[in-house]
Amino acid sequence: MNWLGRLTQLLALSTLPLIGVFWADWSEATAIAYYWCETAIVVSFVALRLVIHRRRTKRRGHYVEKQTSTNGRPPKRGIGTYNATFLTTATAFGFGNLVFLVVLLGLFGSRVGGGELDLEDLREGFVIATCFVAIGFLVDLPGIGERPFAWVRLMAEGALSRVFVIYMAIFIGVFGAVMLDRPHTMFAVFFALRLFTDVASNFKQYDPGHPPRFMRLFVKDWPAFDKEWQTERQTRLAAEASDEEPFLGKPGRTPIVASRRT
């Protein structure tokens, strides 16, 4: 799927709750719950893409170095997958989102204008969202082995941004609804932040070879700053290029530290 198709898909997912609230009599609590469910769907299908892409391409970026510490002993080095890191992060933060939403809607549901959660409306939204995401996955599937690792990594980063933006929406929305006594703020913030995130994630990241000139106003030693900027950029580009190489036993990403007990 090209960038325009993906942007259209994400915009449809983000605006569905708006249609539900204003035309299908969804409660705002149902719409907010939909955002969490839709994010879980997106994360699941991105993880599936990561698995398929890794098996078909064996790109180095799919493998990460990890260190596992058992009962306080010196950490042992091993090799994990980028997908495992992605899923662990998304699941941990997603569960935190769910706890916050349940507690806040339960405590302040009337003040944020949330209304009652309608499971039937939520189920319908879940089915529609799953269909949208599944269609995008099926469109991507035939040529997924020819895609670079950067393509699937960008999708993973976009999915994580959808997880993290829920925290921002929760805190801004609750502050506006509870502290400023403005009902409906939470849903409005959810919609605005999710829409902005989806649009921004589909445009190429601004990555100039030199710092923008306006930064001269804030930097005393411009030549040194410019040199450091270029060095960091070249290092990052080299790391991204190495991610596209075949995996030959050496992972291509930053070590991940994990602790566990036996």
Please report the pLDDT score of residue 93 as a whole number.
92
Angle subtended by helix axes 185-200 and 28-57, to nearest 10: 20
pLDDT at res. 203 = 67
Residue 20's closest CA among 112, 124, 114? 124
| pLDDT reported for residue 189 | 83
Output DSSP code: residue 253. S
Task: Give the closest residue to 238 by CA, choosing from 61, 83, 62.
Answer: 61
Phi, psi at 163, each rounded to 5°: -70, -45
* pLDDT mean values, one per 10 residues, the chain (262 residues): 70 84 86 90 95 94 78 72 93 90 69 74 93 91 92 90 86 73 75 82 76 85 89 88 86 48 32
The predicted pLDDT at position 259 comes to 36
CB atoms within 10 A of CB 261: 7
Work out the burial of residue 15: count CB atoms within 10 Å of its CB; fewer than 13 is exposed, 13-18 middle, 19 or more buried.
Answer: middle
pTM for the full model?
A: 0.83
CA–CA gap between residue 183 and residue 98 (Å, rounded): 21
